[in-house]
Each structure stands twice: as C-alpha cells, then as structure tokens.
Amino acid sequence: MRRIALYISLALLLVAGCTPHEDDTEFEGDVVIAYLCSLADDSSQRIKSDVWIEGSVVLNDKLGETYKSFVLYDTTAGISVKVDVENVDRVVPLYSKVRIRCEGLYIGREGERVVLGAEPMGEYVTDRIPESEIMNRMEVVTEVDANCREVLMAVGDVGMDDMFGYIRIEGVALVEEEVGMTWCDADYRERPFDSSLRHFTDGRDTLTVALLNRCHYATGHIPEDIVTLVGVVDCYDGEPILRLSDRRVLTESNPNIQ
C-alpha cells in the first residue's frame, strides 16, 4: 500500500475535472486525498484553490478511539481532519462518505501525519475547524459508504508510508507477555487522553496497537485467540502503529466485533 509517493508524482493524471492555475501547482475541483497530501509540509499552508476531497470516514470518536478529529480515506491516502466538536460521530458518522470544501482551510504535517484544519493560532500547523463552519464545509453524501474497504496487509509490510491507510491484518495474536491484560492501563480515568499500547504478532513480526485510554472498551479484556485487526495506520514514537476502527477485532468464533 506504499502508494502516496506514486500518487504525488502522478497527481496530474489522477485529478479528475480540475483546472490548473497559471503556475501549474494547484488545481480546482475534486482531487484525490493523496494529491492534497502532496501539498503539505512542516509549515502551515492555506489552501487558496476551490478544492474538494471526498472519502470514507474510517476513524472517529464513535467508541472514543480518537478525539475531536476523524480520518478521511479514499484508497489513495488518508488525512486527519481536526474539528471542534465533542461528538464527531454525530456530525460525520463512522463509515459515511463525506465531501469537504477545502478552500480557506489549512494543511500541514505534524511529524508523519498530514492534518487538515482551521488557521493555526498556536504551536500546531492547524487548529480545529469550528463547529459553526462544519455544515458549510462538509457534506455527508451517504450515511454508509458501500465502497469503503480496508486493504489486506501483512504485519511486516506496515510502514510509515501507509500513514492513515485503512487496513486489515489477519492471523495475529496478543504477545504472550500481555495475555490477560485489558485494552488500556488501569489508570485510564486519571489520564483519559494518554495512549495505551498493546502488541500483536504473526509469529515473525509484531504490530503495536494504540488506544486512547478514554475508549469505550478500555477495561475490556483482549481476546487470546488468533484475531483479525481492522483499523487505521498512525504513528507513535516514530514507529507505525494501528488504531482500531469501531473495535474491529475479529475471531473465528465471532466474525463481527469482539
């Protein structure tokens, strides 16, 4: 799934229905998310063109798995969108198809993450889009995007190039040292926004799963079976990790949600 670099180099071919500016560096109309990501760097960039992106919401706060943000994914790439809303799932439901008008928003990189949001007022490259602006910028096209599909990957193939990709990992088990543990550490009530880390292995490589301690299943025990994990690639301490989407931990006995 290491395709962001390819889409950056081929953005001219992949952007449908767009008109280039005179300097041939930005477009107008519908663009793929990978093209929008190619505009980001470590500084804050204001999007001046009438650019729209469309994709599936593959991670939000429905089960407390992220906070005041959601990940929009369109198979070319994913991007984190910051919003100043307490209940994001009420506004942009998980698995819905959403269109966003990007003109006037800001884009940048926070480490390896590409983020989209409002004009920055502090140390971050973007701030959260005010709730009052969301309805004018975002349209829920369908409540459930039937074309939303995760990409099957092997543990050893997950890398930083897959940032905010929506993936599926099959045939892994919790590492022996963590058997019997809950998803999050016991002090989750005192530090509700810290991440807890758990580790799954396919017998050869190990994948780190990170969850906010405020997630709804923080005190739930982790299955000890062979499982399939579905979620979004993120990073922690410079390494790729997985954030679960909608608590999607699948087993042979329970092929839905554990």
**Contact predicate 60/164, CB 8 Å:** no
Domain boundary among the residues 116, 142, 168 is at 142
Q: Judge if 92 and 193 occupy the same domain.
A: no
Using CA atoms, how far apart are residues 247 and 135, in angstroms rounded to an integer?
Answer: 28
Q: Judge if 110 and 184 occupy the same domain.
A: no
Q: Judge if 83 and 197 occupy the same domain.
A: no
Residue 255 is assigned to a structural domain of this protein: no
Domain tally, the chain? 2
Domain boundary among the residues 112, 142, 172 is at 142
Q: Judge if 31 and 117 occupy the same domain.
A: yes
Expressed as residue numbers, the domain containing 183 is 151-250
Rounded (10°) CA dihedral 183, 189, 195, 196? -30
Q: Judge if 69 and 182 occupy the same domain.
A: no
**Can you give the pLDDT at residue 187?**
65
Q: Judge if 33 and 161 occupy the same domain.
A: no
Residue 256 is assigned to a structural domain of this protein: no
* Partner residues linked to 82 by β-bridges: 69
Give per-residue pLDDT as tens, 120-170: 998 899 999 999 999 899 999 999 998 899 999 999 999 999 999 999 999
Q: Judge if 68 and 18 occupy the same domain.
A: yes
Q: Which helix (H) or strand (E) holds 11?
A: helix 11-14
Q: Judge if 136 and 239 occupy the same domain.
A: no
Dihedral sign, CA of 43, 65, 69, 116? positive
Range 98-103 average pLDDT: 97
Q: Judge if 125 and 18 occupy the same domain.
A: yes
Q: Identify the CATH number of the domain in which residue 101 sits.
A: 2.40.50.200
Q: Judge if 33 and 53 occupy the same domain.
A: yes
Residue 78 is assigned to a structural domain of this protein: yes
pTM summary value? 0.86
Residue 258 is assigned to a structural domain of this protein: no
Q: Judge if 237 and 120 occupy the same domain.
A: no
pLDDT at 33 exceeding the cut of 80: yes
pLDDT bracket for residue 19 (50, 70, 90):
very low
pLDDT at 1 exceeding the cut of 50: no
Q: Which helix (H) or strand (E) holds 171?
A: strand 166-174
**Can you give the pLDDT at residue 99?**
97
Domain boundary among the residues 106, 124, 142 is at 142
> 108: closest CA among 201, 167, 46?
46
* Partner residues linked to 77 by β-bridges: none
3-state SS assignment for residue 137: helix
Using CA atoms, how far apart are residues 66 and 216, in angstroms rounded to an integer?
Answer: 11
**Can you give the pLDDT at residue 11?**
39
